[in-house]
Amino acid sequence: MKDFTKEVLFSRDAIQSRVQRLAEEISRDYHGKELLLIGVLNGVFMFFSDLVKYMDIPVKVDFVRLASYGSGTTSSGDVRVLKGIELSVAGRDVLVVEDIVDTGYTLDALIKIIKAKNADSVKVCALLDKSERRMVDVPIDYTGFTVEQGFVVGYGLDYDEQFRYFQDIYTLHEISV
């Protein structure tokens, strides 16, 4: 059986003020345009919702759910689409919204899918940029926080479907019992 200790990495207040500033920056950059936000489920649900609420430009929203074959807490390059994009992407300005970019495989695959659908532009907003295990060089245009190392949970992020509901983001330390 596994047990964990956890410590706060980003408090709910720090998260909210950072997300608000990200939304302001994105709203400024896309002023006069209508943006299509594509969220990557499931981990993005809290971040996505807060980001949209703080924005003050018209947006349309869609979601994808991707899975990559991998073991434990790391992913592999073999990405499968479990739920695809439903809205039309051709000729649109698209902003991909991710919870965390780790190896970069998921984001790399999604950017290729969106480009193949002839979007006008594709940019990326990630709440967390964890560069420790980056395998693919993916561009992140808007970053909330950088994380040096470790596994983080809360504010939508899970470990084995646990801890998504926390309002703060924690670093998780596994202990054997």
Catalytic residue annotation = 102
CB-based contacts of 108: which residues, under 8 Å, 6+ apart?
A: 136, 138
Q: What is the dihedral of CA 104, 106, 110, 111, to 10 degrees?
A: 0
DSSP 8-state class, residue 133: G
User: Cα-atom radius of gyration of the chain, to the nearest Å?
Assistant: 16
Q: Which of 39, 104, 144, 154 binds ligand IMP (CB under 6 A)?
A: 104
Stretch that binds ligand IMP, among 15-23, 30-38, 85-93, 95-103 (CB under 6 A): 95-103
Positions in 147-166 near ligand IMP (CB under 6 A):
151-153, 157
Amino acid in the structure at residue 170: Y
If binding is defined by CB under 6 A, does position 75 make contact with ligand IMP? yes
Stretch that binds ligand IMP, among 13-21, 24-32, 86-94, 100-108 (CB under 6 A): 100-108
170 neighbors 6 (Cβ within 8 angstroms):
yes
Q: Which of 19, 37, 55, 101 binds ligand IMP (CB under 6 A)?
A: 101
Q: Which of 100, 111, 122, 125 binds ligand IMP (CB under 6 A)?
A: 100
Q: Which of 30, 46, 106, 119 binds ligand IMP (CB under 6 A)?
A: 106
The SS3 of residue 93 is strand
C-alpha neighbours within 13 Å on the C-beta side of residue 59:
23
Q: Which residues bind ligand IMP (CB under 6 A)?
A: 40, 43, 68, 75, 98-107, 130, 151-153, 157
